[in-house]
Structure 1
Amino acid sequence: MILRRTLMHTSTLFHKTMTSQVEQAKDAAALRAVREHVYDGCRLGVGSGSTVVYAVKHLAELVTTAGLNVTCVPTSFQARQLIIEHGLHLSDLSQTPELDVVIDGADECDPQLNLIKGGGGCQLQEKIVAACGKKMVVIADYRKKSQELGEQWKKGIPIEVVPMAYVPVMNKLRSYGLEPVLRMAQSKAGPVVTDNSNFVVDAKFTAPHNWELLETKLCRTPGVVETGLFVGFASVAYFGMKDGSVSVLHKPPV
């Protein structure tokens, strides 16, 4: 019994240490990105996810201490609430259709800055906002940095799908060599519904693809609204590392 309690205590401490390490890594990446890319008059796209929480915190501190004028356009309901809660200037794409910088997280990133996004179900609005920005800056912790997509992120490519079309879309995905799974909600019965009232299908894969060709094929599939593959969007990525440092990865020259 004593040995069992000791093992449980050790496991709990290890989990807390790992959680703290990951959160510190997210914070470090967010701080570096905000300091290096936000400036007075900046029109900023604010992404979604846990790392962006730290970015908004540091953004609010910078705006207050430096007296900056920054206009923020959110990619999701979560991002909108963060902007409001921190007293930042909220806008939208109808008022601010051109953005200088977009800061967003990623579920995975390879050396070419190809991304998988949409673990939180915001891939459509995230891609729309990213497409309006002159520069997309990715912030993440060390777990999201991979040599190949699929190395760390095992849940597949999030694909936003019109509800009436999810079965034929899933059949098409199988013909592309993917393994589609309709994402189900955790706290309610039924599938996950996005901010745009669509379903999310997670398309699992077992080998690398030509990501640009796959993205094009997916987007041409009737019923697919958007995918969580972001090819050619990101300019630079900041990864908070285990030792507290920040690894910076720039988009390779064409």
Structure 2
Amino acid sequence: MIIRAAVQPLTVNDLEYSDHIDRAPYASLLTQFNSEIGNGKHALDVMRDDGFYRHLQVTDMRDNQRRYDIITWPKYLTIAGERGSFTFAAGPADMLPLFDRQMNPGYWAEKLKSGHPSTVEGYDELHFRKWLLQDFWQRSRTMDHDQTTDWWESLGRWLLGDSPLASISDESDVLHALTYIDAPQGHYLHAGDGMWDTNDFHYEYNLAVILTSVRTYLSNPSDTVEA
């Protein structure tokens, strides 16, 4: 017997800790996920439900080849689909209740069984630009006019201006430039802060699949059809 129900949509409240609420180059995670999966056209099929051993399958009812598989066993949960695969390990034997809440990409990155959290995080040019400007305005409040002017000119020359040296598309260039810019002013070295890293979109998308699938599963214990 297969338990089947339409996958529930993602909500704004689910994304409080998301890096992809409303930012390029993708559509917002909320908009894209709900247009693709949380639109009533994807079904959650429970292929196995044996205590802590479960197999949940999210399938596009228009194309059975497009699906996500979520498999649990004591203290582990794996998701595999068209946007990659991830395995998480945590303390409780039953993993599903841990995913029946808001998405918390940073917390779950620490629970990845294979790889380091850095495998789902990366440098983001837009995020860096915003961070750089915020950092400048905050720190310039304690600097005199000449220091502020010199620092801004350095930022323009090395990072934000039209100079051939200016580039923020590559993290290694950014780290080199920040180290060079900081030294003359005696500010702290930005290099290594990681303040401009963001979570990978596909990683967060998979978390959204898990969250909505678990929520659907827990709220539909008796909605069944014969296999």
The two structures share one fold, judged by TM-score above 0.5: no
Larger Rg belongs to? 2
Calculate the TM-score normalised by the size of structure 2. 0.30
Using the size of structure 1 for normalisation, the TM-score is 0.27
Greater RCO structure (CA 8 Å; 6+ sep): 2
